Amino acid sequence: MKTKILHREELKLSSIQEKMIESGWGNGVISNSVTEKIFYESDGLKIAGFISYPKDQSKKYPSIIWCRGGIGNYGVIEDFYARGIFGQIASWGYVVFASQYRGNSTSSGIDEVGGAELNDVLNLIPLADEIECADANIWGIEGWSRGGLMTYLVLTKTNVFKAAITSGGISFLDCSKEKRDKYLQFLYELTSEKLSTLDYDEICKSRSVINFPEKISKDTNLLLIHGTEDDKVPFENSVKLAEKLKELNYNCELKLIEGGDHFLKEQRNEISKLRKDWYDKYLKQI
């Protein structure tokens, strides 16, 4: 079998950082999980990412893809946060795969924010065959903010995921001249020569799952989390999508967090429990 993981090395932090991880993400995150930095192949490109898994590798664990937020290098996953975010999920009994996306961090290529780099998410799936403790047949996916947009679009391309979670996820974009989205401006500046004639209205429609919710896999059980005081992605993004999915008879649950901002830091423990319970219900009951 030709390997798609080009390089992997365990992520090491200082003892002080490890104590901070335990304080912020819970006791056992450091002692019960391993997190690695990786490079993997996607469409011929060398993409940076992470893998995290339980230290106890005596059995197989369900696999989860985590989709980062942000645009370009704003939102790149730093080592400290990777150890906390992914190590926490791994400590719950899962193997986590995450991408920095093409054109970001040390990845080659160009980030189109909902375009070709969706393949960088899908191309994480075969990596499970190279991780001995990963169950390549049981999958979940999670995305925050722009990562929510990525999650929704990926769910229109495959039915492999049994559980999906978004937090502050983007389901529709405002492409009016008065309120052109920052991501579109970024896209234009980054690839203006290549995409100067692109129809931005069409981009918005094709990136906004609210326009085609019926394309999302019905095999996926969705949990949409959103803070009511989110000043970056209005909570209506989750409310309107949840309404449409319920009309289409999807198994979709909406959790509005009263007073929660975009990052939901003040409600971290509550959100962690919601997420763990959702994964355990749909990925460990199979």
For residue 250, give the 3-state DSSP assignment: coil
pLDDT at 196: 52
Amino acid at 14: S
Contacts of 105 (CB under 8 A, 6+ apart): 48, 73, 76, 77
Residue 237 token pair: 């993004």
- Contact between residue 128 and residue 6 where contact means Cβ atoms under 8 Å apart: no
Q: Where are the domains of the chain?
A: 5-172+208-283
For residue 94, give the 3-state DSSP assignment: coil
Residues for the chain: how many in total?
286
CB atoms within 10 A of CB 4: 18
CA distance 232 to 150: 16
CB atoms within 10 A of CB 9: 9
pLDDT at 181: 56
- pLDDT tens for 36-82 read 999 999 999 999 999 999 999 999 999 999 999 988 778 899 999 99
Sheet with 161-167: strands ordered across? 5-10, 33-42, 45-54, 95-99, 61-67, 134-144, 161-167, 221-227, 252-257
pLDDT band for position 2 (50/70/90)? Answer: low
pLDDT band for position 258 (50/70/90)? Answer: very high
* pTM: predicted TM-score of the whole model, two decimal places: 0.93
- Contact between residue 35 and residue 83 where contact means Cβ atoms under 8 Å apart: yes
3-class SS shares of the chain: helix, strand, coil, % to 5: 35, 25, 40
Q: In a 10 Å sphere around its CB, with 0-12 CB exposed, 13-18 middle and 19+ buried, how is residue 78 labelled?
A: exposed
pLDDT at 73: 78
pLDDT at 184: 60
Mean pLDDT of 190-218: 78
**Which segment of 116-130, 169-183, 233-247 scores lowest on mean pLDDT?**
169-183
Q: Under the phi-then-psi rule, with left for phi > 0, alpha for psi from -120 to 50, and beta for the rest, what region is 43?
A: left
Average pLDDT, the chain: 91
CA distance 257 to 264: 8
Q: Does domain 5-172+208-283 have CATH number 3.40.50.1820?
A: yes
CA distance 166 to 151: 7
Provide the CB-side half-sphere exposure for 232 (13 A, CA): 19
Measured CA distances, 76 to 33, 42, 62 (Å) = 22, 18, 25
Mean pLDDT of 190-207: 67
